[in-house]
Structure formats: C-alpha cells, structure tokens
C-alpha cells in the first residue's frame, strides 16, 4: 500500500504562524522534500524536528521527483514544503502533487500560511474575484505587456523582488496609472509594512529608500484602464495581421468609439516594439 504525500504550509516569516498539525506531520513523516534544504533545516532545528530532509527544486525536480514517488509507492509518507508559505504557488511543488495523483497516491493538503492570501487580506481590495499572476517578467517590454493585459473588475496579486519593485511601479504608472495598488513588504516579520495608493504615489513615498525583503503587490485597475488595455490588445492584433499604423488606429478607434488621433501614437509605439 502506498504512502501519503502531505502538502505542508510553512511560515512566510514569523515562525509562530506554523500550525500544530504541520509540526506533528513534519515529525511523523518518513521524509521531507524541501525547495531549500538550508532554509527548511533552520525551521526544523528551531522546533527540534529530526526527520530526514531532501531537496526538491526547479532544477532537480525530474530526477528527484521520481525518487520521491518511488518512496511513496513503497509505503513511505512524505511531506513537501516550499521556501515559505503554501507549496505549489510559484514553485515546483505542484508537479510532485500532479505526479503523485497520476500514480494513484493519496495526497493531503495541510492549510496554513500563504503570502498571496495574507497580502489580499490586508490590501482592502475586493476579493470576490482575484487572479494570481506570479512573478513580474524581467524585461521592460514583457513587463509593460504584463500590466496592460490586466482586466478590471477583479483584483490581481503578483510577486516582485525588492530590487525590481521601483521599475515595475514606474511601468505600472505609465500603463495603468489609475490602478489602486497595495505593496505588502515583509509580511508577518518585524519590519512589515503596507504601502497604499497609485503606483506613482507609492513611488513618491518610497523616494530614495532601498527596500529589502519579500514583496507581494495587490492591485485593481480602474474601468477606464480596462478599455485602454483592450484597445492596446486590438491594436497589437491588427498590426500583427498586416495592417498599417494608420489603418490599425482607424479600425480600433471605430470599434471602441474613440478618435483615431488618440490611438495613432500608441499604434506607432506598438509598431516600433
């Protein structure tokens, strides 16, 4: 009889956020598969847990995943943990779960800390419909498209590094200037803070500060920006299908009830990109 794969959420900062059930399971399983063994090792040491630890991350997931599935098939119980928070969110943990399910292995999820849900809860933004978009792309062009593609009447949650946050806020200020933005930094830790406003006002508030730590951004675009986002996508489609800048601007303007001259410069920018 096969063992059980436990998805165990671990603290995103404050170690007191781990659940009693998570601690018990980490002690009882035969093996813990961790995205970062050094980071998880510190957590285990803090709580006096001596369960064997193995690495399972993006660059070894194929080979290591097969070994973990083999152990589960032998009847061993395995816990999978990420660097912090709930496994499977922007880490390879979901692949291990997918493979276990495909093999008919029992999978159980232990609820606990989540950076996405923690940021949403403190954002004050509507949560009736929200979309998690992972990490912001690194290049400016892809980053611009990333923000332009966001639709309103829903809230978006993204991850960004402290080093690249100002650049993303600058592009957000250019592409979705009316969006309501909340930057949650170092959640559950000593220096936790939430910066609120538009991308431009938050940039102004940050000023010359050299921000550090884990960053989660929640945002909700304004209805006016949804229309412009849709217009931009239509302009791109028209240009990609062979329309001239002038024809693309004219066609999109007619479709969305706008003036051609208001779209001409945007069409030129898209053509140049």
Task: List, as own/partner pairs, every contact residues 233-241 make where C-beta atoms lie below 8 angstroms and the sequence separation is at least 24, other chains included.
Answer: 233/148, 233/149, 235/263, 235/266, 235/267, 235/270, 236/270, 239/267, 239/270, 239/271
> In the chain, where do the E strands start and end?
4-8, 31-34, 53-55, 78-81, 106-110, 130-135, 155-161, 180-185, 193-197, 214-220
3-class secondary-structure state, position 28: helix
CA distances for 173 relative to 148, 183, 223, angstroms:
11, 14, 16
Other C-beta atoms within 10 Å of 129: how many? 8
Record the tokens describing residue 173, joined without a space. Answer: 């200020």
Please work out, in degrees rounded to the nearest 5, the angle formed at the alpha carbon of residue 116 by the alpha carbons of 132 and 139: 50
What pLDDT is recorded for position 262? 72
Angle between helix axes 61-73 and 93-102 (nearest 10 degrees) is: 40
Residue-by-residue pLDDT tens, the chain, 273 positions: 899 999 999 999 999 999 999 999 999 999 999 999 999 999 999 999 999 999 998 888 888 999 999 999 999 999 999 999 999 888 888 899 999 999 999 999 999 999 999 999 999 999 888 999 999 999 988 998 898 888 666 899 999 999 999 999 999 988 888 889 999 999 999 999 999 999 999 999 999 999 999 999 999 987 767 667 778 888 898 999 999 999 999 988 887 777 788 788 888 888 887
d(CA 173, CA 190): 29
**Nearest-10 Cα torsion for 84, 96, 161, 214:** -10
Other beta carbons within 10 angstroms of residue 42's beta carbon come to: 11
- pLDDT value at residue 90: 83
CA–CA gap between residue 166 and residue 196 (Å, rounded): 14
Which residues are CB-neighbours of 71 under 8 A, at least 6 positions away?
3, 30, 31, 78
pLDDT at 226: 65
């Amino acid at each position: 009889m096969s063992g059980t794969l436990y998805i165990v959420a671990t603290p995103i900062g404050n170690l007191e956020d781990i659940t009693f059930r998570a601690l018990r399971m980490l002690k009882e399983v035969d093996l813990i598969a961790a995205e970062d063994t050094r980071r998880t090792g510190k957590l285990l040491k803090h709580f006096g847990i001596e369960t064997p630890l193995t690495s399972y991350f993006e660059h070894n997931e194929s080979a290591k995943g097969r070994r973990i599935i083999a152990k589960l098939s032998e009847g061993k119980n395995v816990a999978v943990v990420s660097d912090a928070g709930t496994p499977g969110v922007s880490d390879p943990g979901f692949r291990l779960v997918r493979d276990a399910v495909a093999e008919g292995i029992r999978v159980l999820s232990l609820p606990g800390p989540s950076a996405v849900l923690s940021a949403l809860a403190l954002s004050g933004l509507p949560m009736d419909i929200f979309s998690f978009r992972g990490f912001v792309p690194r290049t400016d062009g892809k980053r611009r498209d990333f923000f332009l593609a966001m639709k309103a009447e829903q809230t978006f949650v993204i991850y960004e590094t402290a080093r690249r946050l100002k650049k993303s806020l600058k592009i957000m200020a250019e592409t979705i200037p009316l969006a309501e933005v909340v930057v949650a930094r170092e959640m559950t830790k000593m220096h936790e803070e939430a910066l609120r406003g538009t991308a431009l006002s938050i940039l102004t508030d940050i000023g010359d500060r050299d921000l550090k730590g884990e960053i989660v951004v929640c945002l909700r675009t304004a209805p006016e920006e949804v229309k412009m986002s849709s217009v931009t996508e239509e302009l791109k489609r028209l240009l990609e299908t062979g329309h001239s800048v002038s024809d693309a601007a004219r066609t999109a303007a007619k479709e969305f009830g706008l003036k051609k001259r208001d779209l001409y410069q945007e069409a030129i920018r898209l053509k140049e990109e």
